[in-house]
Structure 1
């Protein structure tokens, strides 16, 4: 499968075909990784990075009622 390199501003971009996006299991907004070796490039879904603040916020929302009950005791 071939895709065309395009110019957008100061960047060169490619469009990832729908079939490849689905094969990767990637969604818009997620990171992909380019792994290079000599003249070969492998495109793969990047491992998600642990976001402490995001996980803390999620836990605080999940346990909000419980935490408030503990404070009130």
Structure 2
């Protein structure tokens, strides 16, 4: 399946065909994670629960970073 890069405002993008969106289980407004590996672009739906848990863990680690460093060094 081929798509064309199009001008969208000040950016450029592609229109993802409905069939592919259905395969991913996503729709307009959902978030996708995008990454490039070995000259390929990968799109994956964002797991909102996991993202929320990671934000909470990061905040906790920032709050207690001195204590965590001391624990790691002992």
Normalised by the length of structure 2, the TM-score is: 0.61
Structure 1: segments with no counterpart, 5+ residues: 51-73
Alpha-carbon distance in 2 for matches of 1:33, 1:4: 20
Aligned residues: 51
SS in 2 for 1:22: helix
Flag the structure with higher helix content: 2
Match of 1:6 in 2: 6
Q: Extract structure 1 runs of 4+ deviating beyond 2 A.
A: none
Aligned-residue offset at 1:42 = 1.2
Greater Rg by CA: 1
- Structure 2 unaligned spans of 5+: 53-74
Relative to the length of structure 1, the TM-score reads 0.61
